[in-house]
Amino acid sequence: MSRTGKQPVSIEGVTVSVDGSKVSAKGTKGELSMNLLEQVNIEQGEGELVLSPANDSKKARVNWGTSRALVQNIVTGVKNGFSKKLLISGVGYRAAAQGSNLKLTLGFSHDVNYQVPEGIQVQTPQPTEIIVSGIDKQLVGQVAANIREYRKPEPYKGKGVRYEDEFVFRKEGKKK
């Protein structure tokens, strides 16, 4: 039994419509929708959504908790949104948001221009700080991972792009 799947999804402050296997949520930040698999049933109650497996097959039980988590992410996204913070460390490393582009100076012979996808906002409050935000949790995480991929933090000096809560394990340099 899925512990995650058993919990109902609270929909306070969000308008949710269930049409067969399609779930749509509309809130203050925007609107998202998704199609559930046929192995999972969804019922809209008073201020909550309850998901359950359609039958007792292994595939239905496997997808039950995952579907509940995806519906929760949609509801949270349209209500509050998601954000990830990236930190840049290194001499001369910096970032600047210019409209729908992010200009990164990461020690290459040229600047990296990252085209920000539709539905994602990128802010640079400081030259060494990037905040990626949006309503789609998967897309926010993917954009942050793509930006980090240009220059991952290296273990000797810690230079590169890292998540705010990421710990970079430092190695000792050469010994004489």
Question: Which residue type sits at 146?
Answer: N
Q: How confident is the model at residue 160 (pLDDT cuts 50, 70, 90)?
A: very high
Q: 89-147, pLDDT tens digit by residue? A: 999 999 999 989 999 999 999 999 999 999 999 999 999 999 999 999 999 999 999 99
Superfamily of domain 82-163: Ribosomal protein L6 (3.90.930.12)
Question: What is the rounded distance in angstroms from the CA atom of residue 142 to the CA atom of residue 155?
Answer: 23
Q: What are phi and psi of 129, to 5 degrees?
A: -140, 130
**CATH 3.90.930.12 for the 3-79 domain, yes or no:** yes
pTM: 0.90
The pLDDT, as a whole number, for residue 2 is 67
- Between the alpha carbon of residue 13 and those of residues 17, 45, 72, 84, 102, the distances in Å are 13, 14, 13, 23, 33
Q: How confident is the model at residue 176 (pLDDT cuts 50, 70, 90)?
A: confident
Domain boundaries, the chain: 3-79, 82-163
